[in-house]
Chain A
Amino acid sequence: MELTGAQILMKVLKEEGVDTIFGYPGGAVIDLYDELDRTDIRHILVRHEQGAVHAADGYARASGKVGVCLVTSGPGATNAVTGIASAYMDSIPMVVFTGQVPSHLIGNDAFQEVDIVGITRPCVKHNYLVQRTEDFARIIKEAFYIANSGRPGPVLIDMPKDMVARKIEYKPTTEVKLKAYNPTYNPNKRQLQRVIKLIEGAKRPLIFAGGGVSLSKASSELTEFARKAQIPVTASLMGLGVFPASDPLWLGMLGMHGTYRANMCTGECDLLIGIGVRFDDRVTGKTDSFASQADIVHIDIDPTSIRKNIPVSVPVVGDCKISLQKLNSMMDGQLDLSGVAENRKEWFDHIVSWKSTRPLDYEQTDVIKPQFVVEKLYELTKGEAIVTTEVGQNQMWSAQFYHFEKPGHFITSGGLGCMGFGLPAAIGAQVACPDMLVVDVAGDGSIQMNSQEFATAVQHRLPVKVVILNNGYLGMVRQWQELFYDKCYASTNMEHAPDFVKLAEAYGAVGLRAAKPEEVEDVLREGLFSPHTVIMDFVVEREESVYPMVPAGAPITDMLLV
């Protein structure tokens, strides 16, 4: 059968189960768009390539499938880089197709040429330049396999225009064979035995779960593990939702803006079990004093995560789900857990006292507090919405005041901390879950970074809801300036923003505003339950800060409190 490169791509995409692509056409990918139009794959036309990648990211996280984007060469490809870097930091499975100038022009500084394989090398799991149409099918298969196995991540395929247009005799590729790529899924049994031994002896154990638990779909295994062994659980930003927030063992988030008790627990614990985490600096604070009294167990599928930032007593390289399943069954056979609750009583009493002395709190005055908006959002959605965020204070308040019960419900740019992420990610999540309520909690600064995507949402009738916590500042930077730079608010005042209600209307969306606390609930009710794309502008306290806060580089137990 003779097929063009473009036809091969469509064929293999179908084989890989792709039903949605986020993208933006251009000269180098016209052939592909022409072919794509003849398939039943849904194409979501974004308004900027960064939006396409973030949308594919949100789609991947909400659906558990690989996100796919298609952009053109040159500026199309460079615009995608931020999104790719964000997906790389958060280990999101994604395949990005970029157009490229015809192969004979590569290296000639041709129109819309850029060495995107070179540019993205440090921020992709792997990337390819298609040099022969004959290799195309194999490369696509490999890309999907690499993106979605081991520690997931984005894979980029750069496709010269002539490779896509060329017709070849197509031979179906069946299996992916990569001689050097072989992720370790099964943990070493001896290491797991050591973990069990440590659990047995621990008086003040703590579980620290991260995005890896969500990626390996190990949430129920984790819950079983924590409940069985009676170990309190904290999580990184990326791990929110992997353990139900309503469980008495839940401590809240760990880190720079973590809860008082979660941070104190790491300082006091004698066993810390890190699962699917990478001990990022926003979590550890000063590494020397992080969990300094504890034996640290680190379970992760990526060996480079282990001992990268902190020394570990028991490294376990393996898939979180499989590791937890094995630990759970080993506990059944080996551990006498009847005395555990008794043994840990002192520890739990301690935790309870930390919770009651320093709960997450704020005082609602006659100006709307941003925390109040998130809390109301939580109440009205019964904790069941998919919440995406932008980056900064809006992100931290969402993490603190929206209590996640299930994984895949909190979608945020954790590692890269990429402003402008939330709206396109919400679009992607809404595409993946058309029947769910998807809310982007945004700041007035970050929403302006990708607000062009309102047009995408309206065009594709995606009823995403955007909650803008509008304080007229780049709030998180302002907070740092207040605390550490003598209140010199250099370039963080953002009072010159558009009227978001009018902006919404200009895009054909619904715009609502609340300026007083008593209006918050009504606006949320009206906005959340509308069938349309809605932008809700909440005029909030201008100089509210996120607490607790650990200054960068300080021990995680040294918190600034309200």
Chain B
Amino acid sequence: MKEEHIFSMLVDNQPGVLSRIVGLFSGRGFNIESLNVAVTCEPNISRITIMTKANKPIVEQIEKQLNKLVNVIKIRDLTGPDSVKREMALICVNARPENKAEILRIVDIFRCKVVDVGTEHYTIEVTGDEGKMKAILSLLKHFGVKKIARTGIIALFREPK
């Protein structure tokens, strides 16, 4: 059965490293659901978070293959409750005058922010886990989503209390 898995890895911040990782996925027929890359506090190290969907033996292969890359310093499977997961999205939604109040109410309930306003649209910034993304999207869909940009999941292991 295919399951979602989140791999977080520290990699050398060098040209071509992302390409090695993405190439590994495409070359071996693995699947990328979402991907996020940014530099860490150390300028020569980046963190990459990849969400993938695969069955168990393939998940094992993905982790091992990633580990084998010379530029991958450390990799961790962050699936499950021991990690904090967040995603951010910018959602540009149609906002006709008669819907504005309703949209703002949803924004309020979901603790989002309106970051851009026009006569016919709101752009909303949402942060949360996957469930929250799905929930707010299903509500906003009715008004007509003009554009959406998502960061993909980022995650960190929960430190011991």
Contacts and interface: CB of A to CB of B under 8 A. Distances in A.
A146 B16 CA distance: 18
B71 interface: yes
Contact of B61 (A125, A146, A179, A304): A304
B68 A146 contact: no
B23 interface: yes
Contact of B67 (A121, A122, A125, A303): A303
A490 interface: no
Interface in B2-46: 12, 15-16, 19-20, 23-24, 27
Given A121-B20, A121-B23, A307-B61, 6 more contacts: A122-B27, A129-B15, A146-B70, A302-B68, A304-B65, A307-B60
Contacts of A129: 15-16
A118 interface: yes
A180 B57 contact: no
Interface of A: 117-118, 121-122, 125-126, 129, 146, 178-181, 302-304, 307-308, 311
Given A121-B19, A121-B20, A121-B23, A180 B61 contact: no
A181 to B, nearest CB: 5
Contacts, number: 38
B68 A178 contact: no
A531 B88 CA distance: 74
Interface residues of B, number: 21
Nearest to B26: A122
B72 interface: yes
Contacts of A121: 16, 19-20, 23
Given A303-B64, A307-B61, A180 B71 contact: yes
A180 B16 contact: no
B146 interface: no
A304 B23 contact: no
A205 B2 CA distance: 35
Contact of A118 (B19, B24, B64): B19
Contacts of B27: 122
B12 to A, nearest CB: 8
A308 B72 contact: no
A181 B12 CA distance: 12
Interface in B53-85: 57, 60-61, 64-65, 67-74
A62 B139 CA distance: 68
Given A146-B70, A180-B70, A180-B72, A307 B57 contact: yes
A181 B15 CA distance: 18
10 tightest Cβ-Cβ pairs between the two chains A and B: A180-B73, A304-B64, A126-B70, A122-B27, A303-B64, A181-B70, A304-B65, A121-B23, A304-B68, A122-B23
Contacts of B19: 118, 121
A551 B60 CA distance: 30
A122 B22 CA distance: 11
